[in-house]
Amino acid sequence: MRKAVGVLLFLLLGTVLIYSSSDVSSLKVRDVPYDGGGKLVVSWNITAEEEVGNIKIFQKINGEDWKLYKSTNKLVDKMKDNSVNHKNSYKYKIEVYDKEGNLLFTKESKTITPGVAFYNVGKTAVLVSLLIIGGLIYYFISAARRGQKLKIRRIPALDSLDEAVGRATEMGKPVLFVPGILDVKNPQTIAGVLVLSEVAYKTANFGTDLNVPVSKPIVLSTANDTVKEAYMRAGRPDQFNDDMVHYVTNDQFGYVSHIDGYMVREKPAAVFMLGAFYAESLILAETGHSIGAIQVAGTAMPSQIPFFITTCDYVLIGEELYAASAYLSRKPDILGALKGQDYAKLLIMIAIIVGAIMTIIFPEFHFAEIFTDIG
């Protein structure tokens, strides 16, 4: 009996010793706490008697097959896996190879499911900046409502509005307004529709025809209400008709072919293209240029602005489109919002300069990561 117990203890001790001697290398996976459930940290520490050539890291999602995640030759390292989702479980494995490509050993981690925290600490920078920018906008809107004068610099493209509509009136030709091809959920479309309000107000005052083809049903509804309200504001509701704003098609190039056809047939004297544009920008602007219309364009699509610059008389570049409605309407709410954003930009400039100086002086603090490493 004693012999049997002795042998058993010996085997048990031997197993423990063998296990611990091969466990010199480790692979650990841990969840990043207080995040949105989208991050895991995988760390490894390889110690092998043979010279290690390559280390392959594999990932298994929900018990499915292993998939190669990364290859490295670093014996001690960690990586942040940002591709994970809190709805799945994950397991990692490392395969360690020698210089000849022979497998030395493998190591597997425990299975882990990323946890979701109520408050994502990594997003604190977003919350703080949202509060600062929101606070500035709120302050300036309140100031504008109290009657404080808020100054905005001259935007030359917007001074051309009267010129463009006036020219169309003199020539007895219509004004064409294209509010882009995205839905009203897009801020550029909203900015375009706000400028439409001012253009419609002017066409109502001058008694000029206005044509607004749209490519989205909800934009139809919004633009129609906007034009109708502008005509009522100008005291000319009799001149408004529902056909001024009309739906064409959701299809990008179908919409463009219709507007191109309209332009060469009706030859509008003024063409406004304000909103979100993609590949159709040059097709529209070039046709407008070929009929000799005075063209005012504006978009925040960086790849389309060059086409408008080459073919239009006046262009609102990027954020100028958003400033346009404040500039034209001088409404306290919009002016205050623009002013608030301006001061937010000033803070951003200061933060970038201070951040760059701090990074030079204290590179070990990785100051930039406050802004880039958002959870």
Partner 1 sequence: MIELSLTQAIGYTIGGFLTLCIFSFLYKDNPLYKFAEHLFVGTSAAYWFVTFYHNIIRPNVINQFKEGNYWPIIPVILGIFMLFRLVPSLSVLSRMGIAFSVGVMAGYQIIRHLETNILRQMGATMQGFDKISFTAGNIGNAINTILILLVVIAGLVYFFFSVEHEGAVGGVAKFGMWMLMITFGATFGYTVMARISLLIGRVLYLKEQWWLSIKYLLGI
Q: Which one among 17, 250, 330, 331 touches partner 1, defined by CB under 8 A?
A: 250
Write out the two tokens for 92: 């990692």
Tokens 């139809």 correspond to 220
Under the binding rule (CB under 8 A), the answer on residue 359 touching partner 1 is yes
Tokens 């602005």 correspond to 305
Under the binding rule (CB under 8 A), the answer on residue 239 touching partner 1 is no
- Decide: residue 156, CB within 10 A, 0-12 exposed, 13-18 middle, 19+ buried: exposed
Least Å distance, CB 47 to partner 1, is 31
Q: Which residue, 52 or 137, has its beta carbon nearer to partner 1? A: 137
Q: Judged by CB under 8 A, which stretch of 21-29, 49-57, 174-182, 351-359 contacts partner 1? A: 351-359
Under the binding rule (CB under 8 A), the answer on residue 139 touching partner 1 is no
Q: Which residue, 232 or 264, has its beta carbon nearer to partner 1? A: 264
Q: Which one among 30, 167, 258, 289 touches partner 1, defined by CB under 8 A?
A: 258
Under the binding rule (CB under 8 A), the answer on residue 254 touching partner 1 is yes
For residue 177, what are the β-bridge partners?
A: 272
Contact letters for partner 1, residues 289-328 (x by CB under 8 A): -------------xx-xxx-xx------xxxx--x---x-
* d(C-alpha 104, C-alpha 332), whole Å: 71
Interaction with partner 1 in 24-63: which residues (CB under 8 A)?
none
Under the binding rule (CB under 8 A), the answer on residue 233 touching partner 1 is no
Which of helix, strand or coil describes residue 354? helix
**CA dist 118 → 81, 89, 121, 260, 306 (Å):** 21, 20, 9, 52, 45
Q: Judged by CB under 8 A, which stretch of 39-47, 99-107, 202-210, 247-255 contacts partner 1? A: 247-255
Least Å distance, CB 236 to partner 1, is 19
How many other C-beta atoms lie within 10 A of the C-beta of residue 255? 21
Least Å distance, CB 324 to partner 1, is 10
Q: Judged by CB under 8 A, which stretch of 5-13, 78-86, 126-134, 164-172 contacts partner 1? A: 126-134
What type of residue sits at position 270?
A
Under the binding rule (CB under 8 A), the answer on residue 355 touching partner 1 is yes
DSSP class per residue in 124-138: HHHHHHHHHHHHHHH
Q: Judged by CB under 8 A, which stretch of 3-11, 17-25, 105-113, 183-191 contacts partner 1? A: 183-191
Structural contact between residues 200 and 227, judged by C-beta atoms closer than 8 angstroms: yes
What type of residue sits at position 39?
K
Write out the two tokens for 146: 């109290």
* d(C-alpha 309, C-alpha 6), whole Å: 90
Q: Which one among 125, 167, 246, 333 touches partner 1, defined by CB under 8 A?
A: 125
Under the binding rule (CB under 8 A), the answer on residue 202 touching partner 1 is no
User: Of the candidates 129, 135, 139, 120, which has an alpha carbon nearest to the alpha carbon of residue 351?
Assistant: 129
